Structure 1
Amino acid sequence: MPPKGRIEVDEKYCKGCELCVDACPQDVLGLAAERINAKGYHPAELIEAGCTGCGICTIVCPEAAITVYREVTKAQGNQ
């Protein structure tokens, strides 16, 4: 079973540059088509399930707007 993760995007800092979208190996990130932030950008968001919490999106984000959370299962914690 692959690890599960989720992200939180601080929309006040996201400028919709799509670096995280391009870098996501699971292709589960996109820009919010129906929403814009205070600066007028479409912020990044999870568009489907499948995030593994790999953290690549947070590394490539120039604004440090993404926080990644990874679910630790009991099997992962015992290894």
Structure 2
Amino acid sequence: MPHIVIDETRCKGCGLCTIACPKTLVRMSETPNSIGFTVAVFSGADKCTGCALCAEMCPDVAITVFK
């Protein structure tokens, strides 16, 4: 089943991945991570197609796509 993993230590919270996901499965966290960034989180793995648009948009290379 396709899904993504977001590395919270690399994510700086720019939000570009949330715009890129055609299924709106990536959103911004409500609480900051250990270094103070509000990071992206993935939800809805059952709907992910593995298109990798989120990973392509990520300037911090924080998203890994599994197909």
Matched positions, count: 66
Identity of aligned residues (%): 41
Structure 1 runs, 4 residues or longer, greater than 3 Å off: none
- CA deviations 1:22-77 (Å, max 9, x no partner) are 010111110121x322321121111334111100111110000000001xxxxxxx
TM-score (norm 2): 0.86
Aligned to 1:45: 41
Structure 2 runs not aligned, ≥5 long: none
Structure of greater Rg: 1
C-alpha distance in 1 between matches for 2:7 and 2:59: 13
What corresponds to 2:18 in structure 1?
Answer: 21
Calculate the TM-score normalised by the size of structure 1: 0.75
Aligned to 1:55: 52
Partner residue of 1:12 out of 2, 9, 13:
9
CA RMSD of aligned residues (A): 1.3
* CA–CA distance in structure 1, aligned partners of residues 3 and 26 of structure 2: 11
In the alignment, structure 1 segments of 5+ residues that lack a partner are 71-79
